[in-house]
Amino acid sequence: MKPTSSAGAKSALSRGLLALFFLAAAVSLPMLVAAAPASAAAAPTVTGLSLQWGPTSGGRSVVVTGTDFTGVTGVSFGTTAATVYTVDSSTKMTVTTPAHAMGLVQVRVTTVAGSSADTAADDYNYTVRVEAPTTSAGGFYYYPSVGPAGGTAAWQNFNAGGASGGSYERTSRSGAYVTLKFTGTYIVWIATAGVTTGYATVSVDGGTERIVDLARATTNYQQGVWKSRQLAYGPHTVKITWAGPSGKYIGIDAVDVAGTIQGGPQVTTATVISHGPRTAKNIALTFDMGGRLDPAVSIVNWLVANKVHATIFPTGVAGTQNAIGLQVLAVIKAHPDILDLGNHGWDHTDFTTMTKTQMLDQITRTEAALSPLAGQSSRPWFRPPYGAYNASVVSVCGSAGWKYLVMWDVSTGDWKPVSDGGPTTTAIVNRINTYAQNGSIVLMHLGGYNTLAALPGIINVLKAKGLQPVTLTEMFGL
C-alpha cells in the first residue's frame, strides 16, 4: 500500500471536520428555531365607545374600539354578558347592549389572552328616560324654575309624532331658560335637532356654560344633544338657556338620567356600583358575614385597632342568632367612625328566586334586627347574596330605600379553603396587589379562610399603592 502523504492526510482531516460542522449545524439549527418561544398574545384594551349611555332595557348597538380583539371569548357590561356581538377587526367590535340596572358600568372585552383593564374609556351609563309632560301651559312639572321670571308661556308644547310621548316643550324667546334639578350621577338632554332649531347654553351646578348646537340639515327626533360628565352622586342642577338665532327653537323632549328627577316621576331603582370614583386615591374594603363566622370578631377588632375603615354586610341570621355575630355588631356600634353597616338579606337566599314581597321581607326584617344592635342603619347599602340580581331586585331594593346595590371589582376568593382550591394568605395579598386601583370595592368575608392573616400584608400593599381604606359612605360622600 502506498503511504499517505502528510498534506493529503491534513486535507482529508479538514474535509472531515468541515462535514461534521455542517452536519451539526443542520441538526442544531432546527432545534434552535423550534426552541425559540413564540411571542405571547397581548390582552385586549378598550379605547373608546361610540355611545356612552343607553336604556336599562339594553338593545343599543355600540361600536367598541381598542386593540388585540383577536380570539374574543366574551364581552360584558358590568356583571352582565352581552350575547350579541360581532368582531369586525382586531381593533373594532359591534356589540348590542344587554339589559342592566341603572348606573355606571365597565365594558370589558375578554380574549384567550385575558381581559381588558378598567379605564375611563370603557365607561357606559345605563339610564332611565323621564319624558317632558304634555301641557298646553308650557310648564314642566319636574322643572322647579322656568324663565324668564313669570314667563312660563315662553315655553310651548309642540306636537310631534317622532318625539317621546308624541310632543315636546320648546321656546324661541330670548332669555328663556329651564332649570333641571336631579339627584344622581349622570344626565342626558334629549331633544329634537333639525332645520328649525338653533343654539343653547348648558351649565352644571353653576359652572361654565357650554354651547350646544341643535341645528341639522334634516329633522331628527329624540336626539341626545348633550350629556353631562360622570358626576359624584348627589344633587345637581342643570340650566339650559336659549341662545339664538332669532326665529330658531330649542326644545326639551326628555332626559335620560342615572338618578331621580326632582318633582317628577321618581326613579326608584337602586344604582348598581362595582367601584367608586377612579380619580380618588381610596379603596373600600367590604366584608360579608354569613355562614362560617370564625374569625369574624378577631377581624373587626383588628380593623378597629389599626384604624382601617371598612363596611360590613351581615345577614340577619348571622348578626342576631349567635354570639359571634352579636359581638361583631357591638364592635360596629362602638366604632361608627371606622365601620359602616350594610344589608346582606336575612338568610343568604338568592333574591332572584323571590317574589317582591319576599324580597321586602328579607331586607326590612334584616334592617329592623341589625340597626338597633349596630347603632346605625344599613341603608343605603345592599349586597345581594351570591352577587345575584335582576331588574326586579334593583327596583325593589331601591324603592325600599337601599339606593346602592353594592357589587365589587376585586374579589379575594377567601370564602373557599385552600384544600378546595381557595387562596393562601400570600395569594390573597397578591390578588389585592394585582387588581386594586383607585375606587376599587374589595369583597372579603369575616369568616374567610386566611383573611385575618392576610390583612397586614393587604394594608402594606395598599400603602405602597397610595390607597387609603375608606367606608362606602366616605367613598361616595354620603
Confidence at residue 137, expressed as pLDDT on a 0 to 100 scale: 36
Confidence at residue 183, expressed as pLDDT on a 0 to 100 scale: 83
Predicted TM-score (pTM) of this structure: 0.51
Q: Is residue 3 part of a domain?
A: no
Q: Answer whether residue 146 shows pLDDT above 70.
A: no
Please tell me the least confidently modeled range out of 136-145, 271-280, 465-474: 136-145
Say whether both 462 and 399 belong to one domain: yes
Q: How far apart are CA 322 and CA 346, in angstroms?
A: 14
Q: Is residue 242 part of a domain?
A: yes
Say whether both 249 and 166 belong to one domain: yes
Q: Answer whether residue 171 shows pLDDT above 80.
A: yes
Please tell me the least confidently modeled range out of 33-42, 115-124, 152-161: 33-42
Q: How far apart are CA 360 and CA 344, in angstroms?
A: 12
Confidence grade of residue 102 (pLDDT, cut at 50, 70, 90): confident
Q: Answer whether residue 116 shows pLDDT above 80.
A: yes
Confidence grade of residue 165 (pLDDT, cut at 50, 70, 90): low
Give the residue from 381, 451, 459, 440 showing the smallest Cα distance to 413: 451
Tens digits of residue pLDDT in 261-297: 775 444 456 888 999 999 989 999 999 999 899 999 9
> 440-468 burial string, b = 16+ CB within 10 Å, else e?
bbbbbbbbbbbbbebbebbbebbeebebe
Say whether both 284 and 223 belong to one domain: no
Say whether both 377 and 302 belong to one domain: yes
Q: Answer whether residue 136 shows pLDDT above 50.
A: no
Say whether both 87 and 231 belong to one domain: no
What domain range includes position 382? 271-475
Say whether both 291 and 399 belong to one domain: yes
Confidence at residue 19, expressed as pLDDT on a 0 to 100 scale: 53
Confidence at residue 216, expressed as pLDDT on a 0 to 100 scale: 93
pLDDT more than 90, % of the chain:
57
Confidence at residue 177, expressed as pLDDT on a 0 to 100 scale: 84
Q: Answer whether residue 33 shows pLDDT above 50.
A: no
Instruction: Assess contact for 66 and 45: CB atoms under 8 A.
Output: yes
Say whether both 369 and 345 belong to one domain: yes
Please report, for the domain that includes residue 429, its CATH number.
3.20.20.370
Say whether both 284 and 242 belong to one domain: no
Instruction: Assess contact for 461 and 436: CB atoms under 8 A.
Output: yes
Q: Answer whether residue 135 shows pLDDT above 50.
A: no
DSSP character at residue 275: B
Average pLDDT (35-52) is: 80
- Tell me how crowded residue 60 is: count the other CB atoms within 10 A of its CB: 14
Confidence at residue 209, expressed as pLDDT on a 0 to 100 scale: 92
**Do the strands 271-273 and 339-341 form a parallel or antiparallel pair, or are they unpaired?**
unpaired
Q: Is residue 25 part of a domain?
A: no
Tally of domains in the chain: 3
Q: Answer whether residue 36 shows pLDDT above 90.
A: no
Confidence at residue 138, expressed as pLDDT on a 0 to 100 scale: 35
Q: Answer whether residue 164 shows pLDDT above 70.
A: no
The secondary structure of the chain in percent helix, strand, coil, rounded to multiples of 5, reads 30, 35, 40
- Find the angle CA(75)-CA(81)-CA(86) to the nearest 5 degrees: 40
Say whether both 209 and 342 belong to one domain: no
Q: Answer whether residue 20 shows pLDDT above 80.
A: no
Please report, for the domain that includes residue 85, its CATH number.
2.60.40.10
Residue ranges of E strands in 121-198: 123-131, 145-147, 156-159, 167-171, 177-193
Peptide bond into 148 cis (omega under 30): yes
Tens digits of residue pLDDT in 408-421: 999 999 999 999 99
Average pLDDT (66-76) is: 95
Q: Is residue 98 part of a domain?
A: yes
Say whether both 251 and 277 belong to one domain: no
DSSP character at residue 321: S
Q: How far apart are CA 307 and CA 459, in angstroms?
A: 11
Please tell me the least confidently modeled range out of 99-103, 134-138, 166-170, 226-230: 134-138
Q: Is residue 428 part of a domain?
A: yes
Q: Is residue 108 part of a domain?
A: yes
**Considering 235, 261, 287, which residue would you say is the last residue of a domain?**
261
Q: Answer whether residue 406 shows pLDDT above 90.
A: yes
CA atoms within 13 A on the CB side of 270: 27
Please report, for the domain that includes residue 187, its CATH number.
2.60.120.260
Q: Is residue 308 part of a domain?
A: yes
pLDDT more than 70, % of the chain:
84
Q: Answer whether residue 109 shows pLDDT above 50.
A: yes
Say whether both 218 and 250 belong to one domain: yes
Say whether both 329 and 452 belong to one domain: yes
Instruction: Assess contact for 192 and 223: CB atoms under 8 A.
Output: yes
Confidence grade of residue 392 (pLDDT, cut at 50, 70, 90): confident
Confidence at residue 396, expressed as pLDDT on a 0 to 100 scale: 84
Instruction: Assess contact for 101 and 405: CB atoms under 8 A.
Output: yes
391 grid coordinates: 331588574
Q: Answer whether residue 407 shows pLDDT above 70.
A: yes
Q: Is residue 293 part of a domain?
A: yes
